[in-house]
Structures are given as C-alpha cells and as structure tokens.
Amino acid sequence: MSAPVFVAGIGIITAIGDNIAENLAALESGRAGMGDITFLETIHQKKLPVAEVKHNNDQLAEKAGLSNQISRTALLSTIAAEEAIKDAGIKNFSSLRTGFISANTVGGMDKTENFFREFLHDNQKGKLRNVVNHECGAATEITADKLGIKNYVSTISTACSSSANSIFFGARLIKQNMLDVVVAGGVDSLTKFTLNGFNTLMILDSEFCKPFDENRRGLNLGEGAGYVVLVSEKVAASLSRKPYCKLAGYANANDAYHQTASSPDGTGSYLAMTGALKEANLQAADIDYINLHGTGTQNNDIAEGTAIKRLFDPSFPKMSSTKSFTGHTLGASGGIEAVFSVLAIEHGIIYPNLRFHTQMKELPFAPETKFLKGQKLNNVLSNSFGFGGNCSSLIFSR
C-alpha cells in the first residue's frame, strides 16, 4: 500500500463566513450566502442573486495584508490559504519541501474588466496595472509569495473540477516523495464575464437555487476560496495535534460528451466516483456521506443523480449540496467542499440541502434537509464535475 496523505489544516472564505468558525456557524443555522449583487458592477444587479463574499476589495486587502490593487481572486486566495497554514501548525514549515497548488478559472479578470471599461471609452485611458495579473497563474504566484512557498507552485484550471484536481495532484506529489507539504485547493471571484456567460447559457436561477429538487431552475454563482494542507506521514507524526483525516481516494475522468453539459447517463461522474473508491480500497457501502456537486441545473443534477443511483442502489448514503449555502463557486468549489467534507468527519455532522421540497421523479433518493449532529462518519465522498466532462471525486477518511 502506498504511503498515506493526511489533512493537517484547513482554511476558507465564502459568502457565509470569513473563516472556518463562521462557515460552520452558518451551516448549522441554515444561513445561506445568496443575495442581491452588491460589489460587482453589472446590469444584472437586482435581477440575479449571487453569493458574494461580504467585503469590498479594500477590506479584503486589509485582511490579506496585500495591496488593494491586486485582484479579488488573489486576495480571497491569500486569506483562506493563510488560515489553512496557521491551522496546520507546522512548526518547521519553512525548512520542508513545500508546494502551493491553487485552482481558479477567472484569474485577474475583475481588474481587466475595469481596464477595458475605461480603455474602450478612450484608448488613452485605463491603468495597465489592472491587466498585468490577468492570467490564472498570477493569482497563484501572488499568494505563494505571501505564503513563502517556493519549492513548487502550480495553477490548475479545469472548470468546476479545478480545486479537486489540485488537491489530488498535491497528494500524488507527496506520495511520490517530491514534497512534504502541499497547500491545495482553489479560489474564484465573481466577474461580469462569468455572470454574463452563465446567463447566456440560461442556467442561472433568478431565485435562490434548490439543488436536486424536481422543480430546480438553475444555479446561483458564488465566490470564495478553500484550501487543505496535505502532509506526508512523517510530517503528520511531528504535529502537535492529530491530523483531521486522510485523503484516501481520488480520481478524474472525462466523458467527452459536450463542452458545457454532463452526459445524461452520468458516465464521467460514475467513473470518477468508482475510481476514487478503487484508489481508497473501499466499497460503495463504505461511504457515509456525499457532498454532492449539486449545482441545481436540470442537466447536472440528473447526470450526477443517475451515476449515484447506478453506483449505490439500493443503499444510499446521506447526501447534500452545500452549494445551496455558498452558491456555485466554480474553480473554488472543490476546495471549499473539501473543507466542508473534512469538517463533517471532524465534527460528525451532515449539512442540509437548503430549499429542497420535491424529490426528483427519476431518482429513488433525496438529499438531507436538516443539520445532523452526532453522526459516525468514516468516509466522505466529495464530487466536483466541470465543463467539458472533466469529473473528479475525492474521498476523505477518518
């Protein structure tokens, strides 16, 4: 058996909280983060709800200890990643072989949009500092510099599976003895380009989303960042407290069905879940909770649900979509939901699927609707399925 990889620290910022404690409190109280658009300048204000982090860029910059001229993406990333490292409490961090693998899909697009607004009006205007960090890797580099991580830095952008892919890539680097510690996860911020693009696809709900409901009408976009600190067995043994859990299984698959839609029979979803189970040396019956990808669109939920039915029928574990709290944070979703999965194991909790009312007629199961405590969770499956059929599943084990 290959060497285990442990989760030693977690960090997060979302529309429901600036840190782990605030997110947990919101999940328990059933407080969702969606609302009217406040910070993003768009024609869709007062029309489409989103799940914005509740701070402007000046406030985020102060929290991150960075310039407010830096993209919102980099600011969110730095805040969550620093919390994760602090939470891990690795005393000799700087002396270890460390890596930072971060996912995102928008890069510094928020700043680029500001530049072009001025430039298109008058090509003698627009601040070039707003475009130099446009590409996705720039946000990763800014955060890595702030964290002092230099041994290995990489960016992954595979749509909504990005963060999950960054996490299991980090695990593979540790298993291959290339790194001792990897901070892995992802970030995304809301931009006009993203909002307009998803609106063009006609998959946004004008009300708060209701994943896996028969009457679902689409998703709500969100923003945020989530990271886990992965460590080798040797580093785990040196910590002052036990790690949260193991990253026991992971897999990526691609059904190559469509540029934006999942295959109706959930081929990619099924392959990702079965691959993760095989990697973890587990059976379907060993899974105690599934953090669903669960976007609330017609296509995603039936594809994921069909794959779950195929794999788990007739005994289904408890499951829910936490996107009913955070919105769909795109490239950040796998990282955020990995943090939620780790917390589920640590505290023995299962999250409610908010606003669920009517079971989908095609499926023999329904998500949980109440916050459950005192649950014995040994293995949690977290799904992240992206555009282009890029599907990834992670398994966290006690």
Residue range 266-324, pLDDT digits in tens? 899 999 999 999 999 999 999 999 999 999 999 999 999 999 999 999 999 999 999 99
Q: What pLDDT digit, counting tens, does each position of 29-55 carry?
A: 999 999 999 999 999 999 999 999 999
| Alpha carbons 375 and 208: distance in angstroms, whole number | 28
For residue 243, being part of any structural domain is answered with no
Look at residues 80, 18, 142 and name the one whose alpha carbon lies nearest to residue 332: 80
Same domain, 151 and 209: yes
Q: How far is CA 155 from CA 140, 166, 215, in A?
A: 6, 8, 37
Same domain, 142 and 170: yes
Res. 11 pLDDT band, cuts 50 70 90: very high
Q: What is the CATH number of the domain that holds 266?
A: 3.40.47.10
Same domain, 100 and 126: yes
**Domain's final residue, options 213, 238, 263:** 238
For residue 311, being part of any structural domain is answered with yes
Same domain, 67 and 126: yes
Res. 260 pLDDT band, cuts 50 70 90: low
Look at residues 80, 78, 76, 60 and name the one whose alpha carbon lies nearest to residue 68: 60
Residues in the chain: 398
Of 136, 245, 328, 391, the active-site residue reads 328
Which pLDDT score, from 0 to 100, does residue 386 have? 82
For residue 244, being part of any structural domain is answered with no
Please, is 315 exposed, middle or buried when counting C-beta atoms within 10 Å of its C-beta (0-12, 13-18, 19+)?
Answer: exposed
Same domain, 225 and 270: no
Look at residues 35, 9, 37, 11 and name the one whose alpha carbon lies nearest to residue 23: 11
For residue 209, being part of any structural domain is answered with yes
Give yes or no: 44 in active site. no
Same domain, 229 and 281: no
Q: How far is CA 3 from CA 109, 142, 349, 367, in A?
A: 39, 31, 28, 34
Same domain, 301 and 373: yes
Which pLDDT score, from 0 to 100, does residue 128 have? 82
Of 134, 245, 293, 391, the active-site residue reads 293
Q: Mean pLDDT, to the nearest integer, of 19-23?
A: 98
This model's pTM is above 0.85:
yes
The dihedral formed by the CA atoms of 342, 389, 158 and 195, expressed in degrees to the nearest 10: -90
Residue 210 reports pLDDT greater than 70: yes
For residue 131, being part of any structural domain is answered with yes
Count of Cβ atoms closer than 10 Å to residue 139 Cβ:
32
Give yes or no: 328 in active site. yes
Look at residues 213, 186, 375, 355 and name the one whose alpha carbon lies nearest to residue 298: 213
Which pLDDT score, from 0 to 100, does residue 125 have? 82
Q: What is the tally of structural domains in the chain?
A: 2
Q: Containing domain of residue 289, as a range?
A: 249-397
**Domain's final residue, options 214, 238, 262:** 238
For residue 57, being part of any structural domain is answered with yes
Of 55, 134, 136, 160, the active-site residue reads 160
Q: What pLDDT digit, counting tens, does each position of 164-180 carry?
A: 999 999 999 999 999 99
Q: How far is CA 129 from CA 35, 71, 78, 120, 247, in A?
A: 31, 10, 19, 16, 39
Same domain, 163 and 27: yes
Same domain, 204 and 330: no
**Domain's final residue, options 238, 261, 289:** 238
Same domain, 204 and 118: yes
